[in-house]
Homo-oligomer: A and B are copies of this chain.
Amino acid sequence: MTNYLEYAISLAEMVDGQTGQNPPVGAVVVKDGNIVGIGSHLKQGEAHAEVQAIHMASERCKGATIYVSLEPCSHYGSTPPCALKIIEAGITKVVYATKDVSLEKTGHDVLEDHGIDVTYRPSDRAHRLYDSFFKSKSQQKPIVTVKVSCSLDGKQANDHGESKWITNKKVKQDVFRLRHEHDAILTGHQTVLADDPTLTTRIEEGKNPKRFILSRKGDIQFDQQIYQDPTHPVTIITENENLKSPYEHIEIIYLPKCEVEQILNVLFERGIGRVLVEAGPNVSSQFLTSSFTNQFILYYAPKLIGGTGQYQFYQTDNVNPLDQTPQFQIMNTQMLDDNVKLTLKRK
């Protein structure tokens, strides 16, 4: 049997990270043993994967099967329901890999009511792809990835603040890719002061995420590199009511309490589907403690920094009993030359 459903999932994975608050979806239309249409949902607000694939297959949809990574929608969102498109196109069989638990009315039932042969064929690979999406949608918050680069003993810098460079060039490239796959990047004011970063995606065809800077006190130094480019907007989130923006491309958002939940609400309202937290110990620790964090990417360089651990990436005021500390699941380990990358899921 040819793995058309796997192809649909592959098409979804290709657009993972560019669909904003929408899930990445892939679809394949098959007729008489040939693929006659393929589609991916490319961008929030644009055509869904099924519609793309049906459009490509055109008249050959009649009597065809469509394989979709996610259950077709049956509601009018920013586009008409895909279930309707499938029915109108004359497709007679639908196979999908993930149930859309975020919708009230299921596409499965609507399709079956119209005499279409519908099969739900669960797939771990697809499940992993949508897991965070469903959680994010139900919480009305972006999917959160925290990224930390450190030594084996968990330090982002030595006690003098020296941090260039702990991890290697391949990690840097990998972080560019991570940025590319997120709609926004969030960092702390302290990191901007210490590193004077641009937080851009320096890879071929890389897209730059929106940049958010967290500064409770709001004691911003606007001469930093990150504030200079008018074509690259920056948003500052602060508890300081009096902070005013000196430039049009810098937005200031006042929040009475700059805590994880409030920050994520603000980002979601602004259309952010995925945010990458790339910051120092303060901000990283806040997000790693929070159960709103979905993913944790940890790059270890094979060295020991020692000292007192002022730049230890995870610090808390309270001492937690071991069974109440934040727990993760290691999803993947990967060597990046002499460094190692752990991909973890928050439990």
Contact = CB atoms under 8 A, between A and B. Distances in A.
Given A154-B153, A316-B307, A330 B335 contact: yes
Contact of A320 (B153, B154, B306): B306
Interface string A146-178: 000001111100111011111000000000000
Nearest to A339: B330
A302 interface: yes
A326 B303 contact: yes
Integer count of this chain's copies in the complex: 2
A322 interface: yes
Contacts of A166: 322
A288 interface: yes
B327 A302 contact: yes
A152 B154 contact: yes
Given A325-B151, A333-B335, A340-B333, A314 B306 contact: yes
A110 to B, nearest CB: 40
Contact of A309 (B289, B309, B321): B309
Given A319-B160, A320-B158, A333-B335, A288 B312 contact: no
A194 interface: no
A318 B328 CA distance: 33
A316 B306 contact: yes
A329 B314 contact: no
A56 interface: no
A321 B328 CA distance: 32
Contact of A330 (B162, B316, B338): B338
Contacts of A316: 306-307
A330 B288 CA distance: 26
A325 B304 contact: yes
A313 interface: yes
Interface of A: 151-155, 158-160, 162-166, 285, 288-289, 298, 300, 302-309, 312-316, 318-322, 325-330, 333, 335, 338-340, 342, 344
21 contacts: A152-B154, A152-B342, A153-B312, A154-B155, A162-B321, A302-B327, A302-B328, A303-B322, A303-B328, A304-B326, A305-B314, A305-B320, A306-B315, A306-B318, A307-B315, A307-B320, A309-B312, A309-B315, A330-B335, A330-B338, A330-B339
Q: Which 5 A-B pairs have the closest CB atoms?
A: A306-B316, A154-B154, A153-B314, A302-B328, A153-B154
